[in-house]
Amino acid sequence: MKSQLRVCCYVRVSTEDQNAESQKAQLKEYCQRREWIEHVGWFQDAASGMNRNRGALGVMMDEVREGTVDVVLTWKIDRLARSLNHLAQLLAEFQTHKVALVCPSQGIDTTSSNPCAEFQINILAAVAQFERELIVERVKAGVTAAKNRGVKLGRPSLKEKRINAIRQLSAEGMGAADISRRLNLPYSSTTELLRTIRPNA
């Protein structure tokens, strides 16, 4: 049965100048030890791990979704993902399509032959979920702090956009009539907004 497994070997370097041969050699040796000789595909990217839109990774994930993959093999987990959020997304897809993740240098092996497979998956998923919750918590705290400082969040309203435009044109020395024509606004609306900017004018 081992030779029937469909294995995707994924290697990544950060730049074109870097060499991936060491990763490939280590994965090839690991495949031989596990007797994963047939049905082994190779996917290689030269890109930052923070970039989720990597060509080879995208092609490999398409195969995962098509159900033609049993195992994703990479030397270290950071070759696949550099953030826990991205890792969580990949793990969810692997679990959905019943694909095992193996990272030999870190002792990660979620194949059915490993009695600790489910435990490892749960630990990885729990850590990724914890990271997601921390991010949400930090965002909420940031929003609350900004509101307490009087910062207006969200897109500016049409009125705010007009006030900003009128403030800029007024600072350039334009009068109400010229501003009204420039912004295609009624003269009465322009003078009303001007008064909010310069209440003593």
pLDDT above 70 (res 9): yes
Structure-block tokens of residue 67: 């159900």
What contacts 70, CB < 8 A, 6 or more positions away?
A: 5, 6, 7, 98, 99, 100
pLDDT above 90 (res 66): yes
- Supply the DSSP symbol for 155: S
Inter-helix orientation angle 158-171/176-183, to 10°: 130
Domain ranges in the chain are 2-134, 158-197
* 14 tagged catalytic: yes
Q: How many CB atoms lie within 10 A of CB 51?
A: 13
How are the residues of the chain apportioned to helix, strand and coil, as percentages rounded to the nearest 5? 55, 10, 30
How high is the pLDDT of residue 3? 44
pLDDT above 60 (res 107): yes
More confident residue, 185 or 128: 185
What number is the average pLDDT over the span 86-103?
89
How high is the pLDDT of residue 148? 80
Topology of domain 2-134, CATH: Rossmann fold (3.40.50)
Residue of 3, 14, 22, 113 marked active site: 14
pLDDT bucket at 163, cuts 50 / 70 / 90: confident
